[in-house]
Structure 1
Amino acid sequence: MKFKVQGTTTVDVYVEVEARNREEALAAAFTSLNCLTAFCGNGGTDRLIGISSDVQASIKAEETIRYDTVEETKGNDIPDQKTFWGVTTSIDDRGHVVSHITSKVHAETMPVSTFTSTKRRDVYVDWFTSEEEAGQFVNDSKRG
């Protein structure tokens, strides 16, 4: 028999900000980085966390995992998975475009495309059902 087991752990986030006092530092930290982002890794967008920001920040997870949910899987470990290709496109303030296929994931459903705007660039992650379609999107993006 196979089981899917889920647990939780604490993640510490560190942000470097400039401020005149503690209260301003807390407000600046929240303004600079108020959420974590799900990135693609290990088979899906729900598998890896990261930071999409120009701020000086880091994530540290060093606590013991507390497992609390157990679900029996039927047959295959992960049923009916399809392959999806992720394209990351970055457009800076001068209009310079960088676009590449950056992810290949196996999942039941296509990951959600995302958009992040920073001080210097906009970053898009778009998903496709074939490598050819993703490659064509990269070529089209580079041509403008």
Structure 2
Amino acid sequence: MIAARRLALVALNLAFLGAVYAAWTYDGADVQVDAAPPVRRQAPDHVTTLADNTSGVDVSRSLFRSPPPAPVPAVEPSPEPTSQVPNFRLAGVVWSDSEKVAILQMTDDGGHRRLRVGETIGDWTLNDLSARTARVGAGDHQVELTLKAAGAQ
């Protein structure tokens, strides 16, 4: 049984090698192929090619170079705050190795805003943040907000 299987595999390999050899050595002398002339397509009239560039556009510049950075707008000094009391309270603090974020609850609409140190909301800037307090300032006026205990209003 094993000998018959080996014999069949040897015959199959020989047939395969014969087909590869025939394909490799075939020169195609009896086959006629009419080669079509190469097609050169013209660009439409509304497209300017590099060869036709007479418009003075600089085509040597890389298309993938990043544009120059946008100018930074001048920061205007903020006016004195309209209120000496901020219109928000400290609702939470997110504290990790990579970032510190104060979660502020707005008293006018009840919505929440996230603020990192140095960011502003209205006239108020978050100057300092700890695990339970946030210090905000508007002009020369500073206010320390304390995180309320759970359940306290």
Same fold (TM over 0.5): no
Q: Which of 1 and 2 has greater Rg?
A: 2
TM-score, length basis structure 2: 0.19
Q: Which has the higher strand share?
A: 1
Q: Could you state the TM-score of these two structures normalised by the residue count of structure 1?
A: 0.20
